Amino acid sequence: MMSTNPFGDLIMLRAVRIAMLFLLFVPAVVSARPFVVECPAALDASSKVSVVPKGWTAVPGETHFAFDNITVFDGQPMDRASLVPDRDLEESENGKTAVSEWLFPEGAKNIWFTCSYRGTPSSLAMKVSSVVLRCTTLSRRESWGWRHEPKIICE
């Protein structure tokens, strides 16, 4: 049976196309698969004096630095927009482990991580290549303070 309103058919066809596109993209966001970003355990970086004053001799510094912390950024790390965790949860009864959690608005696409290393201002940065809804890190309390695990789990 043919419709008597050609504009109604056109509107219905567009509505069906929009619904199909919606159904194609929603499962990808709703069922985001977890992934892990792991920082290298150490960073080898040169530590040299760029200008040596007259009468002085440059002494090379340490060049091997151990992992310290992961920082989450909204945008490139050079813009200095680091994000504070949305929640910090103490996981164990004795308070020796803690989970930090960042929650992102649906469709967040410009999330970056940096891996920082003890004793150097140098760090490594990575842009997350997929849509991120949530990320968590784990830290353990030591006698000297918190030791952060060198990985972040996201979905």
- The domain locations on the chain are 34-44+63-155
Environment class of 151 (CB within 10 Å of its CB; exposed 0-12, middle 13-18, buried 19+): middle
Instruction: State the Cα–Cα distance between residues 144 and 104, nearest whole angstrom.
Output: 32
The structure's pTM equals 0.68
Q: Between 22 and 151, whose confidence is greater?
A: 151
pLDDT tens profile 62-120: 788 999 999 999 999 999 889 999 988 877 667 788 899 999 887 777 899 999 999 88
> Over the Cα atoms of the chain, what is R_g?
24
